[in-house]
Structure 1
Amino acid sequence: MVLGCGFVISVVLLASVLAAGNGADSSSTAILVEVDQSGNGDYRKIQDAIDSVPSNNSDHIFILVKPGVYEEKIVVPADKPFITLSGTKATKTIITWNDSGEIFESPTFSVLASDFMARYLTIQNNYGAGAKAVALRVSGDRAAFMSCRILSHQDTLLDDKGRHYYSNCYVEGDTDFIFGNGASIFQKCHLHSLARGIGAITAQRRQTAEEETGFTFVKCKITGVKSAVLGRPWGNYSRVVFALTYMSNVVLPQGWDDWGDSSKQRTAYYGEYKCYGAGARTSKRVKWSRRLSSQEAAPYLRKDMIMIGGSSWIRSAPSHFRRISAVISHQPPK
């Protein structure tokens, strides 16, 4: 198969992706699909590229989104696993929509498929403050987000269900802006509260002691406009841990809130381990939160919670690309 000059240009563009590819395996190969608003790719729209992936796909499909502002409401269907969607720089590749309402209806970007990855993207709901306006919904298992920006106000990131990994991401909002019942690790992420009054960063929804879900934040950074609590319990057994995290003075001294239901104080699991900064002082924390010992924190510093069955689902950036028209149902750019 002869590859045209467009493919050569794409390889050059991909260099910035691979440079930060988290130790890409030299044997890693993916099928390349390009999205370019100017018409120089396979598709002009991201959703069209996703729709081209066959149902029950088993190949690694790498959709390269060239720089631009893509005004789209996107869904990755449950029957289209093994997709990676990548820009080359998050501030240059922006997916945006304007919607509010129910949390499962308003997202700009919804991931329903398993084994999904996103790299170097901005995902934004620009509705503004005052209503539920989800930027990203993650409802598939084994999903990972690398160096992405996730932006809204209320309910920014619906980490709904499944095992998820976020690395070097920036997430901002004002009310419950990371919420849901996923089993998720946030590593080296920046959380920024936009709340003008008192905001809440997390609202985790674990509902029974048996559920293996919860949010863990490791080596993260918390900043904000005014003040916020680290979390409040959407579910009775809400579980959130912050470890080795910088907390600016935006974090209120009490740290956590029971959402007006004192019975949840007995069942919620809210812990902190070796955090630092003006907002990390624990002397005035609510008495029902936990200062974790090294032994108690150890399970949360590993990826055990989300890695049952192995860690191979967190894919490195591919180093080889191919095009197979029989696998990708190609359609003329629209």
Structure 2
Amino acid sequence: MAKLGLKCLTIALVALLSGTNIYGQDKKIIVAQDGSGDYKTVQEAINAVPDFRNATTVILIKNGNYKEKLNLSASKKMVKLIGENPEKTVLTYDDYAQKKNSFGEAMGTSGSSSFYIYGDGFAAENITFANSSGPVGQAVAVWIASDQAVFKNCRFLGFQDTLYTYGRGSRQYYKNCYIEGTTDFIFGSSTAMFENCILFCKKGGSYLTAASTPDTTKYGYVFKNCKITGDAPENSFALGRPWRPYAKTVFINCELGNMIKPAGWDHWGKESNKQTAYYAEYKNTGPGYKPDKRTDWSQQLSDDEAKTYNITQVFRGWNPVQ
């Protein structure tokens, strides 16, 4: 028995030092502002994740308003943030595009983000991501280049440019999330699917999405079973405009509020975008769905075309709901 006990202790120590959990569970780090966890700040917890770890590291974040400008580097892979309550676990900062950096230069849109996420395999649940600078132009809440990223039951708060799906070629999945903003509040080049999400169009806004899908990528933004609502005036929002010529955005079985313009889409003042951008809908509902009044360069999908927008095909074989 003594030898067996010593062997078990040795295994446990090796597992602890290597970051492996011998009970088959993910390694967990706890963040609490009151000092009851492992760290008081989210960035400290992120920094504690071993570089290039080949297992999921869970960071549990207790309720609180964490005002931090966060960065999860590319070496921090398979990191999962879990909040205690999606409305009370808030990660926020207040930079914006025209704000000056330490050299007296404007930060720009990318520099304004509250959270930069590079590490692949990132996941988040029950968290609010916010940019609290207010209606001051471009001000990003989350800038994400991570491939195979998953957000569930999260909130994204801001005004212009709230959610920057930056990653060229990256795949991102959003489920049961709330995303709000004014202009281009979901934008970027990633392939991203949004399922059962609420998209809240705020007063003073004009465009919901601004995809910059590369010409070599088949799928850009795919919205399925989402609800578009808000306090914006009637006929004040377009579903999207092409930030880059080959932008791709599709709404499937979504409920569209009356703030959506009858034309549906905008070509960003460039006629050639009408030939390259791909904008489509399928069996949407609500007062904002007026297929007979849509721009003649947008599409209404057939049943067979709509079937191609399944999760594994959109994500090139990756299935985040398995």
TM-score (norm 1): 0.83
Structure 1 residues 245 and 301: CA distance shift in structure 2, 3 A: farther
Deviation at 1:213, TM superposition (A): 4.0
Q: Could you say which residue in structure 1 is the equivalent of 2:122? A: 116
One of 279, 304, 321 as aligned partner of 1:270: 279
> Would you say the 8 A contact 1:181–1:213 is kept in 2?
no
- For residues 156 and 219 of structure 2, the distance between their equivalents in structure 1, rounded to whole angstroms, comes to 21
- For residues 308 and 192 of structure 2, the distance between their equivalents in structure 1, rounded to whole angstroms, comes to 13
- For residues 88 and 299 of structure 1, the distance between their equivalents in structure 2, rounded to whole angstroms, comes to 36
Q: Considering only CA atoms, is the larger Rg found in Structure 1 or Structure 2?
A: 2
- For residues 81 and 163 of structure 1, the distance between their equivalents in structure 2, rounded to whole angstroms, comes to 15
Q: Secondary structure at the match of 1:103?
A: helix
Q: Could you say which residue in structure 2 is the equivalent of 1:222? A: 228
Q: Could you say which residue in structure 1 is the equivalent of 2:212? A: 205
- For residues 24 and 298 of structure 2, the distance between their equivalents in structure 1, rounded to whole angstroms, comes to 44
Which moves more between the two structures, 39-48 or 225-234? Answer: 225-234
Deviation at 1:59, TM superposition (A): 1.8
- For residues 76 and 302 of structure 1, the distance between their equivalents in structure 2, rounded to whole angstroms, comes to 26
- For residues 307 and 286 of structure 1, the distance between their equivalents in structure 2, rounded to whole angstroms, comes to 30
Q: Could you say which residue in structure 2 is the equivalent of 1:88? A: 84
1:130 aligns with 2:136: yes
Deviation at 1:58, TM superposition (A): 1.1
Q: Could you say which residue in structure 1 is the equivalent of 2:158? A: 152
Tell me the number of residue pairs that the alignment of Structure 1 and Structure 2 aligns: 287
- For residues 39 and 305 of structure 1, the distance between their equivalents in structure 2, rounded to whole angstroms, comes to 43
> Would you say the 8 A contact 2:96–2:136 is kept in 1?
no
Q: Could you say which residue in structure 1 is the equivalent of 2:100? A: none
1:29 aligns with 2:36: no
Q: Output one character per residue of 1:70-120: Cα deviation in whole Å (capped at 9) or x when no partner.
A: 111111110010110010221010111100012221111111110000000
Deviation at 1:298, TM superposition (A): 1.1
Deviation at 1:302, TM superposition (A): 3.3
1:182 aligns with 2:190: yes
Deviation at 1:315, TM superposition (A): 7.3
- For residues 290 and 301 of structure 1, the distance between their equivalents in structure 2, rounded to whole angstroms, comes to 18
Question: Which ranges in structure 1 are unaligned for 5 or more consecutive residues?
Answer: 3-26, 317-334
Q: Could you say which residue in structure 2 is the equivalent of 1:287? A: 296
2:213 counterpart letter in structure 1: R
Q: Could you say which residue in structure 1 is the equivalent of 2:101? A: none
Q: Secondary structure at the match of 2:272?
A: helix
Deviation at 1:307, TM superposition (A): 4.3
Deviation at 1:303, TM superposition (A): 3.5
Q: Secondary structure at the match of 1:104?
A: helix
Q: Output one character per residue of 1:114-166: Cα deviation in whole Å (capped at 9) or x when no partner.
A: 00000000000011113110001111111010000001111000011110000
Q: Output one character per residue of 1:173-228: Cα deviation in whole Å (capped at 9) or x when no partner.
A: 001000000011000000011132x51000000242x2234000000000122221
Q: Could you say which residue in structure 2 is the equivalent of 1:12? A: none
Which moves more between the two structures, 27-36 or 220-229? Answer: 27-36
1:70 aligns with 2:66: yes
1:41 aligns with 2:47: no
> Where do 4+ consecutive residues of structure 1 move more than 6 Å?
none
Deviation at 1:248, TM superposition (A): 0.8
1:34 counterpart letter in structure 2: I
- For residues 187 and 143 of structure 2, the distance between their equivalents in structure 1, rounded to whole angstroms, comes to 10
Percent identical across equivalent pairs?
37
RMSD: 1.7
- For residues 55 and 177 of structure 2, the distance between their equivalents in structure 1, rounded to whole angstroms, comes to 26
Which moves more between the two structures, 183-192 or 222-231? Answer: 222-231
TM-score (norm 2): 0.86
Structure 1 residues 315 and 265: CA distance shift in structure 2, 3 A: closer
